[in-house]
């Protein structure tokens, strides 16, 4: 007859196993530790994610300039502020965005905040998506003023410049109506536009080879050896919180409160 021996495992501590025999004796068995292989990150995948993240934010901001909407705009500006802050802790863009957000969220009334936000855009054609930034409209105005001053030749006195600039809207309307009534033919040469088709096909071929969004551990980008999956990963949250609290008080006192 074969004797049946029962073994009971009492404790397992890392690499040591204690076994109790039927006669009460115990002995230890040392188990070699298993090596855990850490999976290397895919830096090419991280680069693709970060590029897509920043690119979509940029496209959203461009779309916002054509169709401004305050709630959406404030959300995008908050994200943009964090991006600037993570890129450069002393970024002047993050500073100015923080000032704008404090005025929008804390200091101004709802009416004043809306007037301030929508005053940043100008609708140039009356369509729902026909807005442009106010500073760009100002650049167009400066360009038109310079063209009128150029035609004044030597008669550039302060009075004449003031009269011409005040009459710019009327001058433009009169000139367009005169050309229409006299059937003036405006000759213009069409600028040749470079086709982007070849560049796009080259990019598509490269993307098919690289497959940036298919995770392959160990890949690296030549110019970004240690890039993270998101630019916000390098953000110091505690530092941002203290910076926001400090600037809230600073901008509140700056407005005279």
Alpha-carbon gap, residue 94 to 74, rounded angstroms: 13
* Single pTM value for the model: 0.71
pLDDT tens across 135-146, in order? Answer: 998 998 888 888
Q: What angle do CA 90, 95, 98 make, to 5 degrees?
A: 140
- State the pLDDT confidence band at 147, using cuts at 50, 70 and 90: confident
pLDDT of 256 strictly over 60: no
Angle between helices 237-254 and 92-102 (to 10 degrees): 60
Per-residue pLDDT, 212? 87
| Token pair 């005279």: residue | 256
Q: Is pLDDT at 73 greater than 90 in this prediction?
A: yes
Q: Angle at Cα 17 formed by Cα 15 and Cα 22, nearest 5°?
A: 170
Give per-residue pLDDT as tens, 151-201. Answer: 777 777 888 888 777 777 788 788 888 888 998 887 777 777 777 888 889
Bigger pLDDT: 207 or 28? 207
């Amino acid at each position: 007859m074969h004797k049946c021996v029962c073994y009971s495992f009492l404790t397992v501590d890392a690499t040591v196993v204690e076994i109790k025999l039927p006669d009460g004796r115990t002995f230890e068995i040392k188990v070699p530790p298993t090596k855990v292989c850490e999976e290397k990150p895919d830096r090419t995948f991280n680069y693709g994610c970060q590029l897509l993240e920043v690119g979509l934010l940029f496209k959203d901001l461009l779309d916002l300039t054509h169709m401004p909407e305050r709630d959406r705009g404030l959300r995008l500006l908050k994200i943009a502020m964090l991006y600037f802050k993570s890129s450069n802790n002393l970024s002047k863009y993050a500073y100015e965005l923080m000032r704008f957000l404090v005025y929008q969220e804390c200091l101004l009334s709802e009416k004043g905040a809306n007037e301030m936000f929508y005053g940043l855009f100008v609708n140039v054609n009356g369509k729902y998506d026909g807005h442009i930034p106010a500073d760009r409209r100002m650049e167009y105005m400066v360009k038109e003023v310079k063209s009128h001053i150029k035609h004044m030749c030597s008669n550039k006195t302060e009075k004449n410049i003031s009269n011409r600039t005040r009459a710019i809207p009327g001058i433009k309307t009169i000139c367009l109506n005169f050309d229409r009534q006299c059937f003036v033919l405006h000759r213009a040469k069409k600028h040749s536009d470079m086709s982007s088709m070849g560049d796009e096909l080259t990019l598509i071929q490269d993307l098919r080879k690289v497959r940036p969004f298919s995770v392959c551990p160990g890949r690296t980008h030549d110019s970004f050896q240690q890039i993270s999956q998101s630019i916000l990963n390098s953000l110091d949250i505690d530092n941002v919180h203290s910076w926001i609290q400090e600037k809230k008080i600073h901008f509140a006192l700056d407005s005279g409160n």
